[in-house]
């Protein structure tokens, strides 16, 4: 599920927040995400939020993970815990922006692992990210969560790539 399309002002806000560290856009982005979250998800049935992880190198470059920021905002508003550091990105895939759907899926093969899977068994989770384009990243994360025993995984992003 996505709050809006990744075009115009929405795309500009996401890019400026994510790459230029213009953090004042974060509150607006969380509000857009929260609108979609409240509309499409029954939060009484959700056990936790999982932010899509960045590779450690990319996180050092950016100095933050935008998905963690958005998950924290949802957590504060909805009272749902963020389940941190259970999914790790172990493959430094680089940017996917210029890849087609098939290449994105290949690029992400083996990119994510779960640690301490017992924490996830039987849980209903919402996977949080900023942009959903082909679904390759969310799908790759959801697969490792399901293999680890998660009961349900719902993808939630601010914007849908066009």
Those residues whose C-beta lies under 8 Å from the C-beta of residue 122, and which sit 6 or more positions away, are 149, 150, 151
pLDDT at 1: 83
Domain containing 58 equals 2-160
Is pLDDT of 82 > 80? yes
| Tens digit of each residue's pLDDT (9 = 90 or more) over 98-117 | 667 777 777 777 789 999 88
* Environment class of 134 (CB within 10 Å of its CB; exposed 0-12, middle 13-18, buried 19+): middle
Cβ neighbourhood burial of 137 (10 Å; 0-12, 13-18, 19+): buried
pLDDT in tens, 115-150: 988 899 999 999 999 999 888 899 999 999 999 999
Residue 12, pLDDT > 70, answer yes
Indicate whether 78 pLDDT > 70: yes
Q: How many domains does the chain contain in total?
A: 1
CATH number at residue 32: 3.40.50
Q: What is the DSSP string of 48-106?
A: EEEEPPPPHHHHHHHSS-HHHHHHHHHHHHH-PPB--SSEEE-S-----TT--HHHHHH
Q: What is the dihedral of CA 157, 91, 23, 33, to 10 degrees?
A: 10
Average pLDDT over residues 36-41: 92
| Segment 62-77, tens digit of pLDDT | 889 999 999 999 999 9
β-partners of residue 125 are 48, 153
Mean pLDDT estimate for the chain: 90
pLDDT, position 133: 86
Q: In this predicted structure, what is the pLDDT of residue 156?
A: 96
Give the percent of the chain with pLDDT over 90: 66
Per-residue pLDDT at 95:
67
> Residue 156 in contact with residue 126, Cβ under 8 Å?
yes
For the record, the structure tokens of 6 come out as: 């990744």
């Amino acid at each position: 599920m996505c709050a809006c399309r990744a075009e115009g002002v929405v795309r500009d806000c996401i890019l400026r927040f994510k790459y230029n560290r213009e953090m004042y856009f974060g509150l607006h982005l969380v509000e857009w995400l929260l609108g979609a979250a409240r509309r499409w998800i029954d939060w009484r049935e959700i056990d936790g939020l999982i932010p899509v992880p960045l590779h450690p190198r990319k996180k050092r470059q950016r100095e933050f993970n935008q998905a963690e920021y958005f998950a924290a905002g949802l957590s504060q508003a909805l009272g749902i815990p963020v389940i941190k550091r259970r999914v790790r990105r172990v493959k430094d895939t680089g940017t996917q922006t210029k890849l087609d759907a098939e290449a994105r899926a290949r690029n992400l093969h083996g990119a994510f692992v779960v640690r301490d899977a017992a924490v996830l068994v039987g849980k209903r989770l919402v996977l949080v990210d900023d942009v959903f384009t082909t679904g390759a990243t969310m799908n790759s994360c959801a697969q490792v969560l399901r293999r680890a025993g998660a009961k349900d995984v719902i993808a939630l992003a601010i914007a849908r790539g066009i």
